[in-house]
Amino acid sequence: MNSIKNIFQTKDQNLLSIYFTCGFPKLNDTTRVIEGLTSAGVDFIEVGLPYSDPLADGPTIQESSQKALENGINLDIVFEQLMTIKETNKTPLVLMGYLNQLLKYGEDKFCQKVVDCGIDTLILPDLPMVEYENHYKALFDKYGINNVFLITPHTTEERIKKIDSYTESFIYMVASSSITGAKGEISQQQIDYFKRIKSMNLQSKLIIGFGISDRQTFSTACQYANGAIIGSAFINALADNGINHINSFIAQIRS
């Protein structure tokens, strides 16, 4: 059974996920960050694959990707790092990357590595729906991998319903039609969007991301979805305060 689904069976409100970039701040910090987030009690972790052209990411995550690449990170090292904690890690991991990374690595090789690391949920923001329907759904089904689709304020109702029918884990609800990064308070326009999606009574769980950065924005997002993902704010905290302060960062969100 999908490990994310296991979470939703026991808890379906106020779920906190944290995004981080593999190989940042230092090359071998990947497992330490996962261990720190697990110790802090996050519900699941979004593991970011550093990429040279991350179109969906804002400056903070772009810079962390660039730093990780300068540190020498690559997909082989990422998979090796994730393998070392496969047996001890108890927090579900969701892998977030880009379609070109999968293509360059080799589709079957990539999927097999993902499964070998004990991961069954994948986010590829630039994967076109038509490509998913024509090819990748069958590929992912072959390996038991679940694809997470993103929706935005401009996603049509027809497309949302199609995404809902394909979803086996959760729908990633982008809080605004922009790149990642802290945006301050959640606007009334965003709340109207949240309400509209919630009123559709979709069968899938909803997790809000992009612009969620502190206790207030996390709490607001959780009023309209099952939980939220924090990325850029956590990357900034890692850069400023280091891994030893992960607990205090999470405690501020949870308080």
**CA gyration radius, the chain:** 17
**Residue closest to 53 by CA, chosen among 101, 3, 112, 120:** 101
Q: Which helix (H) or strand (E) holds 69?
A: helix 59-71
Helices (H), 136-245: 137-143, 157-166, 188-199, 215-222, 232-241
CA distances (Å), origin 206, targets 40, 110, 132: 23, 27, 20
Do residues 173 and 197 touch, judged by C-beta distance below 8 A?
yes
CA distances (Å), origin 173, targets 20, 26, 107, 148, 159: 18, 30, 26, 10, 13
From start to end of the chain, where are the E strands? 15-21, 44-48, 93-96, 121-123, 146-148, 150-151, 170-174, 205-209, 227-230
Q: Which of 29, 43, 57, 120 is catalytic?
A: 57
Q: Which of 29, 43, 46, 120 is catalytic?
A: 46
Q: Confirm whether 168 is a catalytic residue.
A: no
Q: Confirm whether 46 is a catalytic residue.
A: yes
Residue type for 20, please? Answer: F
Residues with a known catalytic role: 46, 57
